Chain A
Amino acid sequence: MNILVVDDDPRMLTTLTDIFGEFGHDVTAAASGEEALAVAGSARPECVLMDFRLPGMSGVEALEALRPLLPGVPMVLMTAYGFEVTPEALWERGVLAVLEKPLDLGAVLSFLNELGRTHTVLVVDDDPLFTQTLAAVLEASNYRVETAACPGQVWRHLDRSHVDLTVLDLKLGPYDGLEVFKSIRSRQPCLPVVIVTGYPVECRAQVRAAGASCAYACLYKPFDAGELVATLDTITQRVSAAVLPGASPACAKEGVHGCSRAHPDS
């Protein structure tokens, strides 16, 4: 995994590079925000660790500047301060976590490990064509895909293998998607579920009920595959970040409970 570490203390850069290297990560070190911007394009990092106080451009400014260059890349801030930073504001600006120095390296490493792991997505839909195309897209986006067309297959997958995410169609032929959703919730309360449906009006009540039961999100067919991937990426990042101290409460929630309020009407 390629990590961009930005800190003005060269010893910090050295030690982090060495440690992450030991765990098989590639580290791109930058001593300032400007330098980070310069190398970001070529390095294509999958994660960014940024010090708060930097010479020249501040860490927050650098992250803001990096965001368009690295869309969807998780970004974590490091700080030696407690009080200059308002974590809430940073979380709102898309910072996944604010870590205090000295770093809890165990946590950071498990976060990176989790982030770099290939996640398994269970796609539940009775339309084989839809399932097939979605599987292709997700596999191209570095997800392992399992498919299920009926509730029975779903239970089998959940029992037999580790599933990180579920994409559930509310229309499952003769089966009630909402009932399936509730069963998943009862079996694995922490499993994030993304609901998709092609019948926004008919399913409004179901979607609302699902939202009340902490479905993660709801997408209406036909949807942009990129949108689904971005949603899944966000969920993955947040679930991974839950191990970090100073993660945003959304991460903590997903980390602990594995679910969040759905946004059914969005």
Chain B
Amino acid sequence: MTGRGLPWLLIVVYIAAGLVVACQLRGGLAAERERALQHWSLRVESVAATIEDHVNLWLSERRRDCLAVAGILPECAGGDLSGLGARVVLTRVKEAYGYLGAYIITSHGEVINAAPGSAPLPDDCRRDQSEALARGQWVVDETHLEGETIHLGFVTPIGALDYHGLDCAVVLLVDARAQLVELLSETVPTRTGESLLAAKAPQGGIIFITPLRHWPQQPVPTIIEHPDTRLAARSAVEGNVTTSQFVDYRGHEVLATTRRIEATGWGVVRKVDLEEVLAGYSELAGQYVRQGVLAVLGLGCLLFGVWAQQRSAHYRRQLELERRLQEETDLIAGILESTEALTVATDASGHITRFNAACRRLTGQDDRSVLGQPVWEVLGSGLRAAVLEVCRSGGVAEARLPLTTAAGGERLIDWRLTQLVYPGGGLRGVVATGIDVTARQRAEGELRRLNEELEHRVRRRTAELEQAHEQLLRSERLSAIGQLAGSLAHELRNPLGVISNALYYLRLVQPEAAPKVREYLDIIGGEVNQAQRVISELLDFVRLPRPRPQPVVLAGLVEEALRRERVPPQVVVRNDIPSSAVAWADPHQLRQVLANLITNAFQAMPDGGTLVFAAQTVAAGTELLVSDTGCGIPGQDLERIFQPLFTTKSRGIGLGLSISRALVEANGGTLTVTSEVGKGSTFAVYLPREEAGAS
């Protein structure tokens, strides 16, 4: 149901419903009216029937009176109808039953006897007498008005007697109105109900026999002419027996029923005003109409409610749709505005139609200044070719173009352009999105540089690893030497101990031995000491005892080391170390190092020379320099001399310098050498000055 179609449909339904209600109401009212008419018809009919019965009974009583008089006259008259006997009878009848007059008339119409006080006999009665005599039976005279009295005569032939040969008849004259008025009095009075008897007047008019309820002035007129053919009384006197709507003598609409009294030709009318008949109906009709109107109004309200509800639902839906549409629009706008990508839309000729926030930020221009401008004038001339290309051939165009920003800097933008088409097809324009790749490009450059640096580091680290590997090999070699030295020491020291003991004993027991013997004992002793020294060196090298560093006065330590060595006579020793020079080292181990260096120096100067000790302060430590003026060390041997088992000498196992370096390093220092072949060598022992430098 659409919003617009709804009210029309509702109106149609409403009208239809209204029509139905009206029809129902009408039908109901008609039926109700019919029922009321019916009801009242029955009522008037039953009253009319009663009246008819009463009138007929009254007539038959009158006939019986006549017959009774006619019957008894022959016995009471004594044969003379005009006589006293007959008069007595007439008088008694008249008196007994209130007749106007009681008569005996002849067939000539001559009154031969009458009860005293009888009213003059109207001519009509005489005529009727003739007829009664002719027919030999009871006749009711025509009704006629005599002044205010309505005369009705009953004539009965007296068959058994005659008057002078003339047939005679008994006539009883009665005042019909006076007699019948009581008969017609209302038994069940209604507001407008009325019963009446009417007879046809001789001139075509109508005689109302009974008094009229609504005609208060008397006498009741004989209505000669009545304009309305629907007059109930006329219908009655004309002999119609019916129940119908008529008008009455007042001209009012009435429901009436008509009867006919055959004996007199009278019409009986029982009527009630139609107004009263329909009074209940009207009330009911009023209720019906009210209810119908209420029902229609209620339905109207209901339908209006339905319509209003539908209408408001429709409006709500409309609002909801509008809200959603707004949200959707906002979302799209929001996406467009918040994306970091430069987004610009143009028409088919490349003029800007949409320009998002990223574009505004970067270019520093606002919508007002750019909308309608060719896109290449705003975002770089390089875009022109791409826009035209996309417009012409569709697809996607890509371009990396520089863009001068509001701040004057230059950014590099990666553009992607696609066609924008109408929903139904047809080129609408171009959409271009741009990503700022300046930083990325910079990062790529940085990455490349880092990669190179990494490679460089890897190469350097690889070299270091190789070196470490070499070191490891060397230490493995040292470890093997260590094991060898261990067993070697045990195997050699025991026999040396024995030799040494034996030598001691020999010297002890032969203090006065020959000089040659003593010389040889000394030689043995010297060689044992040499062997002992080699073994000790070897063991020191393997053992490398943990240093116990302490402050060491270098000058003193050098003196002490020199005291233990035998200085060759051709060598000059000079100690230039200032007494203030102090290092942090294990004095025992440092002495061992010095002993090694001194021995080496002496051996390097077989033909004499100068051994100089010096010290200098460097960085966080002290450097002790031991210089000789010996043969020097060839360049290719400069590093190898520190390797174990390398030696250039005919004696020795080549451990001295490697042990020395190991000892110095264990004390947190370094041992290095500089040398010049033929001029001499200088060994530099660097040692930390403070404890923190010790390892």
Contacts and interface: CB of A to CB of B under 8 A. Distances in A.
A5 B499 CA distance: 18
Interface of A: 9, 11-12, 15-16, 18-19, 22, 53, 80-84, 100-103, 105
A101 B509 contact: no
Nearest to A15: B501
A103 B539 contact: no
A97 to B, nearest CB: 16
B508 A22 contact: yes
Nearest to B532: A102
B581 to A, nearest CB: 26
B501 A103 contact: yes
Nearest to A19: B505
B493 A102 contact: yes
B1 to A, nearest CB: 108
Nearest to A87: B545
Contacts, number: 65
Contacts of A18: 505
B313 interface: no
- Central interface residue in A12, A80, A100, by most chain B CB within 10 Å: A80
Contacts of A22: 505, 508-509
B493 A101 contact: yes
B226 to A, nearest CB: 169
Q: Is the interface of B mostly helix, strand, loop or mixed?
A: helix
Nearest to B482: A83
B501 A16 contact: yes
30 contacts: A9-B494, A11-B498, A11-B502, A12-B498, A12-B501, A15-B502, A15-B504, A15-B505, A18-B505, A19-B504, A19-B505, A19-B508, A80-B490, A80-B493, A80-B497, A81-B486, A81-B493, A81-B539, A82-B489, A83-B539, A83-B542, A83-B543, A84-B486, A101-B496, A101-B497, A102-B493, A102-B498, A102-B528, A105-B501, A105-B504
Contact of A80 (B489, B501, B508, B542): B489
A81 B543 CA distance: 10
Contacts of A19: 501, 504-505, 508
A9 B543 CA distance: 25
Given A102-B528, A103-B497, A82 B505 contact: no
B490 A53 contact: yes
Contacts of A15: 498, 501-502, 504-505
A80 B486 CA distance: 9
B433 interface: no
Contacts of A83: 486, 539, 542-543
A6 to B, nearest CB: 14
Interface string B505-522: 100110000000000000
B318 interface: no
B494 A12 contact: yes
B402 to A, nearest CB: 75
Contacts of B499: 102
Contacts of A82: 489, 536, 539-540, 542-543
A59 to B, nearest CB: 13
A106 to B, nearest CB: 8
B525 to A, nearest CB: 10
A6 B540 CA distance: 26
Contacts of B540: 82
A202 B56 CA distance: 176
A12 B497 contact: yes
The list of the 3 closest CB pairs from A to B, nearest first, reads A15-B501, A102-B500, A80-B493
